[in-house]
Chains A and B, each alone.
Chain A
Amino acid sequence: MTTHEYKVEMTCSGCSGAVTRILTKKLTEPGSSFDVDLENKKVTITSELPADTLTEMLKKCGKEVSYIGVK
Chain B
Amino acid sequence: LRKRTKTAKISIEGMTCNSCVQTIEHQIGSYTGVESINVSLDNKEATVDYNPELITLDSIKDAIEDMGFDAAINHPSL
- Tell me the A residues contacting B by CB distance below 8 Å: 11-15, 17-22, 60-63
Contact A15 B66 (CB under 8 A): no
Contact with A along B1-34 (1 / 0, CB 8 A): 0000000000000111101100110110000000
Interface pair A18/B17, CB less than 8 Å apart: no
B67 to chain A, nearest CB (A): 5
A interface, over-half SS: helix
Tell me whether B52 is interfacial, beta carbon within 8 Å: no
List residues of chain A with CB within 8 A of the CB of B70: 21
Partner of B17, one of A11, A20, A60, A62: A11
User: Top 7 A-B pairs ranked by shortest CB distance?
Assistant: A18-B68, A14-B16, A12-B17, A62-B23, A14-B20, A21-B68, A62-B27
Q: Which residues of A contact B26 (CB under 8 A)?
A: 62
17 A-B pairs in the complex with CB atoms less than 8 angstroms apart:
A11-B17, A12-B16, A12-B17, A12-B19, A14-B14, A14-B15, A14-B17, A15-B19, A18-B20, A18-B67, A18-B68, A22-B66, A22-B68, A60-B68, A62-B23, A62-B24, A62-B26
